[in-house]
Chain A
Amino acid sequence: MSIAVLGATQSPASIRPIAKAYPTGPAALLVEHATKRFKVDRRKPPVMAVDDVSIRLERGEIYGLLGANGSGKSTFIRLVSGLLTLDAGRVEVFGHDLVREEMAVKRLINRVSVDAAFFKKLSPAENLSFAARLYGLDSGEARRKAALIMARLGIGEKRMGRPVEQMSRGMQQKVAIARAILTSPTLLLLDEPTTGLDPRSKLDVQTFIEELQADHDATILLTTHDLAEAERLCGRIGILAGGRLAVEATPEGLKARVAAEHGLVPTLESAFMAYTGRSLDDDVEEGEAEPAE
């Protein structure tokens, strides 16, 4: 496959915000025709969680995936993380195939989920040490790095020794992001990293994500409910509706399109409504409760 050809298929508008990126070399993330169904109930047809989605992220880019609840954002992130297997399609991270070179891909990526997945009774230091060892980091080096990241996020040394469960949600989410970047992922998957945070923590996390892109050369795939956040952070935005990628463009491109095609005011909000057919707070889930865990 010729990279130059793939690069040429991109419209100039979608390349603009990633001027910093390196257009040559393999894509940071290449997803082709990803499809995932879940059989929840034998009597009902399977749920099409992700339906033939293809995206390509260039190195250094922040790509935002928007969509109502249940539109398939988390499933998509899990497919890229290798936590779910694809029914069809393929995923490549920096030229490594997710299925054939699983370990190589795993070393390149990390993921932050909505719920900060920690051992609640362990301290941030202990949780980070576990992560560092899993990813083969030297423990001394890991400790120095963690201290730097935590200081940057405004988490004092005192807090590092106390159980995670005693921290606020905002703090926990910061520790989760710190843990993810401790392993120096070149592709960072952030699944609603700011959902449920207070405005202050939200801003902190957003600023930090911007810094990550600027200083660490990280490529980020981000899902969010917050349109202002998407506009601020993302070079390109894709909108998922019922598992399908309804539209993909730069924030400006999206606004222009929704004005031209639907005659709506050029905002991300109206683009979201137009392409998902629902408002932000609607829930897609119909008559199907989430199982308690």
Chain B
Amino acid sequence: MTAIQRDVRAGYAFVERNFNLTKRYWGWEVAFLVYAVAGALSVSLIGQSVGNRRLLMSLVVGAVFWNYLSVVFQSIGDTITWERWEGTLEYTMMAPVRRSVQLLGSALFAVVYGLIHTAVLLVVLALFFSLDLGHANLGAAAIFMVVGSASLIGIGMLAAILPMMSVERGSQMVFVLQSCLLLISGVYYSTDILPGWMQLLSRISPATYVLDAIRKALIDGASADQLLPDLWPLLAMAFVFIPVGLWGFGWAERYAKRTGKLKRVG
């Protein structure tokens, strides 16, 4: 068996496993989906209530695509927490699998899962508000979702370091990080209204560029070259965050193995 076959098989192991877990926890999946739909609807209804169609569209995009980005971020950021909670972390860590394969396999599942979530959300909201996506540039929106997920996955890997290093506080910190991304990325408002220092931060959040580009593509039907200014920073961030995330994760694993943070009892 070639090394590539082995990697593909191992990477697929995480996709299949997470799919099986989703199936077994289907009750929660339905609950999360209902929560996401209700949340997106209530925020978007603010636009409806002030009778501003553009605001409505902007809020719909914010709610739907923020949901996507946070699903991707969370499922990577919580990999360690999840396995620790199940009690399988040591088993997975001692398997002959490269960490990059493990993380990319998990990321692949996260993206597919997120896309399905988003599709449901988008359909429900489009029907509810009878949205007209006739002149929307759906292709461009899809591209930005994919490119945006890449950098989010990188940040997710960096976040996943925290639960590895601190059994007690790690997952709380992932949650805090996610909340900060929500605040600075202009999910429901333009980042222009933020205080100066927050605007600076918003520029290093991939979500800012993804949301800006998808708004332009879906609401104004902006063309590819109009969206390029949002694409470059995203590509650059993906090229930085993914290798840094992988490296950081490897470092955290060595730290955990040195200090006995993987697991203690048993």
Contact = CB atoms under 8 A, between A and B. Distances in A.
B6 A293 contact: no
A106 B259 CA distance: 21
Nearest to A116: B87
A133 B97 CA distance: 10
Contact of A293 (B1, B16, B265): B265
Interface in B1-50: 1, 5-6, 9-10, 12-13, 16-17, 20-21, 24-25
Contacts of A78: 90
A126 B88 CA distance: 14
Contacts of B5: 136
Interface in B86-113: 86-88, 90-98
Given A38-B260, A85-B258, A134-B92, A121 B24 contact: yes
B10 A126 contact: no
A111 interface: yes
B266 interface: yes
A136 B87 contact: no
Contact of A135 (B25, B90, B96): B96
A126 B86 CA distance: 15
Q: How large is the interface on A (under 10, 10 to 19, 20 to 34, 35 or more residues)?
A: 35 or more
Contact of B88 (A111, A119, A290): A119
B53 interface: no
Interface in B207-266: 254, 257-260, 262-266
A134 B266 contact: no
A117 interface: yes
Given A106-B96, A119-B88, A84 B24 contact: no
B167 A130 contact: no
Contacts, number: 101
A118 interface: yes
A83 B254 contact: no
B6 A83 contact: no
A134 B96 contact: yes
Contact of B266 (A81, A103, A115): A115
B254 A85 contact: yes
Contacts of B84: 293
A38 B25 CA distance: 37
A191 interface: yes
B177 to A, nearest CB: 23
A262 interface: no
A163 B167 contact: no
B90 A126 contact: no
B94 A106 contact: yes
Interface residues of B, number: 37
A84 B260 contact: yes
Contact of A84 (B88, B257, B266): B257
A103 B96 contact: yes
A134 B10 contact: yes
Contact of B95 (A114, A120, A134, A293): A134
A135 B94 CA distance: 10
A74 interface: yes
Contact of A163 (B24, B96, B260): B24
A83 B25 contact: no
B254 A111 contact: no
Contact of B1 (A84, A103, A136): A136
Interface in A109-156: 109-111, 113-115, 117-122, 126, 129-131, 133-137
Interface in B136-183: 167
A257 interface: no
A170 B1 CA distance: 35
Contacts of A199: none
A12 interface: no
A163 B24 CA distance: 9
Given A117-B90, A136-B1, A293-B167, A83 B262 contact: yes
Contacts of A45: none
B264 A293 contact: yes
A74 B260 CA distance: 12
A83 B264 CA distance: 11
A83 B167 contact: no
Nearest to A109: B94
A63 B254 CA distance: 29
Nearest to A82: B94
Nearest to A126: B20
A119 B167 CA distance: 19
Nearest 5 Cβ contacts at the A-B interface: A133-B13, A106-B96, A121-B24, A134-B95, A136-B6
12 contacts: A74-B266, A82-B257, A83-B262, A83-B263, A106-B95, A117-B86, A119-B20, A122-B24, A133-B9, A134-B97, A136-B96, A293-B263
Given A131-B95, A133-B10, A293-B167, 5 more contacts: A38-B260, A39-B259, A81-B90, A121-B24, A291-B264
Interface of A: 38-39, 74, 78, 81-85, 103, 106-107, 109-111, 113-115, 117-122, 126, 129-131, 133-137, 163, 191, 290-291, 293
Interface of B: 1, 5-6, 9-10, 12-13, 16-17, 20-21, 24-25, 84, 86-88, 90-98, 167, 254, 257-260, 262-266
